[in-house]
Amino acid sequence: MKAQRYDYIIAGMGCAGLSLAAQLSAAGLTRGKKILLIDRERKDVNNRTWCFWETQPGFFENIVFRSWRGAWFHSSSHSALLDLDPYHYKMIRGLDFNTYCLKMIKQDPAFEVVHDEVISIHSEGEVAECTTTHDRYEAPWIFSSIIFDKPAILPDEYFLLQHFKGWVIKSPKPVFDPAKATLMDFRPSQQKGTTFVYVMPFTPTEALVEYTLFTPSLLDDTSYDRGLNNYIREHIGIEEWEVVEEEFGVIPMTNHRFPKSHNRIIHIGTAGGMTKASSGYTFRFIQKDTAEIIRQLQKTGRPERSATWAKRFQWYDSVLLNILHHQTLQGDAIFTDLFKYNAPDKILKFLDNETTLAEDMKIMWSLPQWPFMKAGIAEALK
Ligand SMILES: Cc1cc2nc3c(=O)[nH]c(=O)nc-3n(C[C@H](O)[C@H](O)[C@H](O)COP(=O)(O)OP(=O)(O)OC[C@H]3O[C@@H](n4cnc5c(N)ncnc54)[C@H](O)[C@@H]3O)c2cc1C
């Protein structure tokens, strides 16, 4: 079977694939090109929400569902209302994102969409090839966000899971302040490991409540439900509510180095290392990476990008994973110190890998020094 030829193939139409397609089109880089998008799913369900923060309107500003300037942090020993200025904490619903990107793709004659299972992607010489259940396709470049197998974690690497179950609930009485989100609430039991809840209020009676853990393995389904039920009763203070939507997610928290490219295959999204190992946040890193790919294409005609952030941020992530993995300190205690002793904008900047070394030092200084120093040395020596 002869392979069908394209200028670019985008394998995986999730956050990274659709972000790239939409931004290639907006930048005029699709003119005169033939681009194939492949995914096994039709992308017509609302199966996730993305939260992230920005100081400026971003590419997806039109579809931001809600945004907040104020947010609560809670733990058993500290509570504070954080002024996030100059950041806005934003939420985009998955279905709005898909619809927005797919509309741009439909309007651009460069794109062709195929729904099929990708079996393999490989690259030799100047060409990359993608095999699906029904066909073969080739292009000078394939952008892939598909992870075929769980990466082989080396003995000195960590692999924790950030796993969560979220409910959009409707309360019969007004209990939420739509101007203030809850970024992290560590008051629920920490017995199963680092556990927190975040609450994103939409109206006085409706909010997304998400029960989240950083642990090596998943819980049974009833434990997430119990965590959500307890939180809603104890901390939101209601006995009755309706669950109108549900989401479940698992995000790898690993310092495993995902290769950013292999010959003519450009790995994007989580597959390209865009998930921050210590927080699971990915959306903004994907957008920054997409912008870098676009910049490189405009400058050199090739999509290969250099490092998107300084190497020291990978080391910070490894240090936190080391501490969580060895349970040297409890996650809630670390985040309490982080939020107690640092300005919220500096924390968000730090979590975005955008702080200066001097700002990093100030943040490090606020955390329990001996355990962090020990873990820091251990990770630096690897
Ligand atoms: C429920 C959930 C909520 C999240 N919330 C946030 C958040 O609030 N903020 C944040 O920053 N990050 C969040 N994340 C993390 C991250 O932003 C998402 O996982 C994001 O979707 C990653 O984008 P991606 O393109 O790398 O992967 P995906 O979006 O998962 O896209 C991969 C695509 O590849 C397709 N695919 C996979 N294998 C094949 C195959 N063999 N053949 C064909 N198609 C295939 C899939 O159908 C999918 O469409 C969340 C993750 C989850 C799971």
Quick one: angle between helices 331-341 and 312-326, nearest 10? 130
CA 330 / ligand 1 centre spacing (Å): 28
Q: Domain segments of the chain: what residues?
A: 4-48+92-151+258-300, 159-253, 312-380
Q: How does pLDDT run across 133-143, given as a tens digit for each residue?
A: 999 999 999 99
pLDDT of residue 345: 97
CA 15 / ligand 1 centre spacing (Å): 6
> Which secondary-structure segment (H or E) carries 323?
helix 312-326
CA 247 / ligand 1 centre spacing (Å): 13
331 lines ligand 1 (CB under 6 A): no
Average pLDDT in the 310-316 region? 91
Side by side, the strands of the sheet bearing 88-93 are: 49-54, 88-93, 64-68
Tokens matching residue 303: 């999509």
- Return the CATH number of 4-48+92-151+258-300, one of 3.40.50.150, 3.40.50.450, 3.50.50.60, 3.40.50.12280: 3.50.50.60
Q: Are 363 and 347 in contact (CB under 8 A)?
A: yes
Q: Are 307 and 273 in contact (CB under 8 A)?
A: no
Q: How does pLDDT run across 163-193, given as a tens digit for each residue?
A: 999 999 999 999 999 999 999 999 999 999 9
Tokens matching residue 56: 């400026």
What residue's CA is closest to ligand 1, atom 26?
A: 269
Residue count of the chain, please give it.
Answer: 382
pTM of the full predicted structure?
A: 0.96
247 lines ligand 1 (CB under 6 A): yes
User: How far is residue 57's CA from residue 158's CA, in Å, rounded to a whole number?
Assistant: 35
What residue's CA is closest to ligand 1, atom 1?
A: 249
CA distances from 38 to 52, 118, 267, 371 (A): 26, 8, 15, 46
Q: What are the DSSP calls for 3-51, one per residue?
A: PEE-SEEEE--SHHHHHHHHHHHHTTTTTT--EEEEESS---S---EEE
Q: How does pLDDT run across 48-102, given as a tens digit for each residue?
A: 899 999 999 999 999 999 999 999 999 999 999 999 999 999 999 999 999 999 9
Q: Which CATH superfamily does the domain covering 159-253 fall into?
A: D-Amino Acid Oxidase, subunit A, domain 2 (3.30.9.10)
161 lines ligand 1 (CB under 6 A): no
Residue 114: beta bridge partners?
38
Dihedral angle sign, alpha carbons of residues 260, 250, 212, 98: positive
CA 61 / ligand 1 centre spacing (Å): 20
What residue's CA is closest to ligand 1, atom 5?
A: 50
